Amino acid sequence: MTVSVIDASPHPSYPPDMEESREKRIGTSLSNERAFRTKQAIEAIYSPRFRSWSEVSSLSKAVRERLEAEIPWNTLSNVAVLSSTRKDAWKALFETPDGNRIESVLMRNRRGQFTVCVSTQVGCAMKCVFCATGKPGLTRNLSCDEIVDQFRFLRDMAADANLDGEITNIVFMGMGEPLANYVAVREALRIFTGPLGIGMTRITVSTAGLLSGLDRILSDPLWPPVRIAISLHAADEAVRKKIMPSTVPGFIDSLVAWSQKYAEAFPEKRRHLTLEYLLLSGVNDSTQDIRKLVDLARRFGRVRINLISYNTTDSGFMGSDPDTVRRCKDTLEAAGIIVTIRKSQGGDIAAACGQLAGKNHSQTS
Ligand code: SF4
């Protein structure tokens, strides 16, 4: 399998004092206490009932004070929360302990359920030309705790604001390439599907197609079998290379070969792959482009396609017009392919990834 140049490059990691997970640090901090205290403290930090160590009354005052001094309740400081005018999307801007800015989104669907979209890196090395996050490149990976804490903050915010409905889904579609931060993402998946109680098939990890990471999933017994989405955005490799420079020679064929191994490893119907396709006017939305997409989808076999309308950034790209979006959907459906149009939510709060973190806070709050 081809390995991209980006796979091989070192990924800046988080600062040394954040290398150890919060769960381990809780264990160290409470090493003089009876073992069940550590379990209680870890359960408390993931529980929706508490907002700080001081509220965890099952722990003694001394233990609470020690934890408060040594283990921050949330690794991230919230800088701003913006709400869409339709009240269907909320975007949170956070600052990490070393002063970087990242963002996450809470979205409500028509059934009244919520999805949280998390970031996995500060910036991104993939440099997709239509994406605000990719522009400045990669600063560093986020730690597992920083990924999980985006969810914890938005869950608590939704509860405190009395937003009706439950958070049922998580998508790894925020800033960064999740598979380039493989171990932290895998650990975050363990926490999301374990103590935070989100179902495996309700979580989607979306990748720009990092082939080494995709390959690793297939043979990793610790990887929870969550859903995988591939940001394809063009069925023609030359077109894809222009908009996604991380595309390596032979990418499409390698991806098809990988998808066959994926289908063998995860034969259940509900583990289908999703191909994400951002419709960009005049770039990948011609009749010929969509015909190529149909041919490629047939090579994949068990696949669904999400057509995505583009949140305009200052990238110079325009989203396809509604008639073109409909024509693309009709063509795919006529070919027997399951397709959905992902409606843009929160356009008025710059909800495409990296659009808010890339701005000065004073412009957005
Ligand atoms: S679209 Fe995703 S993979 Fe591409 S640069 Fe942006 S964050 Fe990175």
- Return the domain boundaries, the chain: 23-70, 74-364
**Running DSSP on this structure, what letter comes out for residue 247?**
P
Residue ranges in the chain whose pLDDT is less than 50: 1-10, 359-365
Mutate to test the pocket of ligand 1, among 131, 140, 185 (most ligand atoms within 8 A of CB): 131
CATH number of this structure's domain 74-364, picked from the four choices 3.30.9.30, 3.20.20.70, 3.30.43.10, 3.40.50.720: 3.20.20.70
Cα 177 to ligand 1 centroid, rounded to whole Å: 6
Q: What angle do CA 191, 275, 286 make, to 5 degrees?
A: 150
Q: Relative to the CA of 207, which ligand 1 atom is closest?
A: 3
What per-residue confidence (pLDDT) applies to 4?
A: 39
Contacts of 76 (CB under 8 A, 6+ apart): 94, 95, 96, 102, 146, 149, 150, 153
**Pocket of ligand 1, beta carbon within 6 A:** 124, 126-128, 131, 133-134, 175-177, 208, 353
Return the ligand 1 atom nearest residue 206 CA: 2
Q: What is the pLDDT of residue 192?
A: 98
By residue count, the chain amounts to 365
Task: Give SS3 for 223.
Answer: coil
Q: How far is the CA of 17 from the centre of ligand 1 (A)?
A: 27
Q: Which atom of ligand 1 lies at the shortest distance from residue 121's CA?
A: 7
Pocket test for ligand 1, best of 124, 206, 311 (most atoms within 8 A of CB): 124
Task: Please enumerate in sequence order all residues whose Cβ is within 8 A of that of 145, keeping only pairs 6 or more positions apart, or say none.
Answer: 18, 21, 22, 75
Cα of 124 to ligand 1 centre, how many Å?
6
Q: What is the pLDDT of residue 6?
A: 40
Phi (first) and psi of residue 33, to 5 degrees: -90, 170
What per-residue confidence (pLDDT) applies to 3?
36
Residue from 250, 337, 342, 252 nearest 301 by CA: 337
103 given a catalytic annotation: yes
Q: Output the pLDDT for position 24.
A: 93
The count of C-alpha atoms lying within 13 angstroms of the C-alpha of 100, restricted to the half-sphere facing its C-beta, is 23
Options 23, 103, 187, 276, the catalytic residue: 103
Active site (annotated) includes residue 95: no
What is the share, in percent, of the chain residues with pLDDT greater than 90? 77
Instruction: Determine contact, residues 153/74, Cβ cutoff 8 Å.
Output: yes
For atom 5 of ligand 1, which residue has the closest CA? 134
CA 178 / ligand 1 centre spacing (Å)? 10
Ligand 1 atom closest to Cα of 124?
8
Give the number of the atom of ligand 1 that is nearest the alpha carbon of residue 208: 3
- Residue 132: what pLDDT? 84
Cα 282 to ligand 1 centroid, rounded to whole Å: 20
Q: How much distance in Å is there from the Cα of 69 to the middle of ligand 1?
A: 37
Catalytic residue among 124, 128, 131, 353: 353
pTM (predicted TM-score):
0.91
pLDDT value at residue 207? 97
